[in-house]
Amino acid sequence: MPTYYPIDETAARRAKEMSSFYDYKPGSATASYRQEVDKAAAIAEAQKTRVDPMYHEKIDRLLDTYARKLAENLNHGYAIAARCPSVLIAGPANFPVRKKEKQNRADDANIREWQEIQGILHRIRGVGTAGISSDDENALQKLREKLARHEREQEAMKSINAYYRKHGTLDGCPLLSAEETEKIKAAMARDWRANPKPYESYLLNNNNQTIRSVKARIAELEAKQSSPAPEGWSFDGGRVVMNQEENRIQILFDGKPAEDIRSELKHAGFRWAPSQGAWQRMLNQNGIYAAKSVTEKWMTPADLPETTIESQTEEEPCSEEPVLFSYPQQSM
């Protein structure tokens, strides 16, 4: 059973009164919140069945964080909504336009925060599973599949927006199920914008940023595969090795380095690998630069290496973002 945090029913009722002539159903905000937490709990329990029990505590912590932050966000949203009535309630005469604009900006920020909170669900789904690491021999294939998925999502969102612009309704949209249609319509009905869209610009922009990021990652890995293998170098007291098989750049000392050197190595991202007898980190441009920075004090200028491979992110975060984004249902 998840932990539920309190919902401000008084603020929720006031928010309803500020935007609608319909009566507020007592307890509906709390019920809606708990429904969302229950969905998150189902995701958490499903993830527990897929991973080692050692990860269960972390999943529980993330679930509790989600429940707490969601309650805080919803309560803040109700407080914002209660600041100023809609023009429907107050009427156009002497309507406080600037106050409403300020309220809209605050509400927009709160919606963005809500979206970030939903990211916790993606983190729960990723607990105990690796991201797309450069060490994975299938990394390029997985990244291309991820790119294709996000590109499909982008086209779907754009097509749904286009359908809505043309028909003025989502009913009959071939890209949506009946359930998805109702969820998006409910979210649009709660939107403070005068003319809400099924998918607002920031959703398209966020997904497009993910597409660009994955494309850049693919280009980096392709460049690494096509470029010649970089060479290591020697320095006074050891050598640097490009271990292609392990995908690591390794610093091997003739003896145990002093404590201040070990501290410098750790600061530069290197970790001691007893199985390799070396200080190592991911083999990429950043790793080569770090090794050069650590060892150049023991080298002559002519011995300094040239960096030859592209930089790359060590791991792509494991986040499965849903195709169809919608705000939580709130029955008021």
Quote the CA–CA distance of 34 and 330 in Å, as a whole number: 11
pLDDT at residue 89 in the model = 63
Question: Which amino acid, 11?
Answer: A
Quote the CA–CA distance of 267 and 259 in Å, as a whole number: 12
pTM higher than 0.85 for the full model? no
pLDDT at residue 306 in the model = 55
pLDDT at residue 317 in the model = 43
Q: Is the pLDDT of residue 320 over 50?
A: no
pLDDT at residue 315 in the model = 44
The mean-pLDDT minimum among 58-67, 113-122, 227-236 falls in 227-236
* 238 phi/psi in degrees, rounded to 5: 170, -165
Average pLDDT, the chain: 82
pLDDT at residue 250 in the model = 94
> 325 versus 109: which is more confidently predicted?
109
Q: Are 191 and 164 in contact (CB under 8 A)?
A: no
Q: Are 271 and 281 in contact (CB under 8 A)?
A: yes
> 309 versus 275: which is more confidently predicted?
275
- Cβ count near 67 (within 10 Å): 23
Q: pLDDT, tens digit, for every residue of 78-99? A: 998 877 777 666 567 777 777 7
What one-character DSSP code corresponds to residue 307?
P
Q: How confident is the model at residue 166 (pLDDT cuts 50, 70, 90)?
A: very high
Q: pLDDT, tens digit, for every residue of 15-40? A: 888 777 678 889 999 999 999 999 99
The two tokens of residue 44 are 């958490």
pLDDT at residue 328 in the model = 41
- pLDDT above 90 covers a percentage of the chain that reads 37
Burial 126-150, CB ≥16 within 10 A → b, else e: bbbeeebebebeebbeebeebbebb
Q: Which of 142, 141, 175 is nearest to 159 (CA)?
A: 175
| Domain layout of the chain by residue ranges | 1-129, 132-226, 233-313
Quote the CA–CA distance of 214 and 153 in Å, as a whole number: 14
Q: pLDDT, tens digit, for every residue of 189-236? A: 888 888 899 999 989 999 999 899 889 889 988 887 776 767 889 998
Q: How confident is the model at residue 161 (pLDDT cuts 50, 70, 90)?
A: very high
Q: Which long-range contacts (CB under 8 A, 24 or more apart) does 157-165 make?
A: 157/198, 157/199, 157/203, 157/204, 157/207, 157/325, 158/199, 158/204, 160/184, 160/198, 160/199, 161/197, 161/198, 161/199, 164/197, 164/198
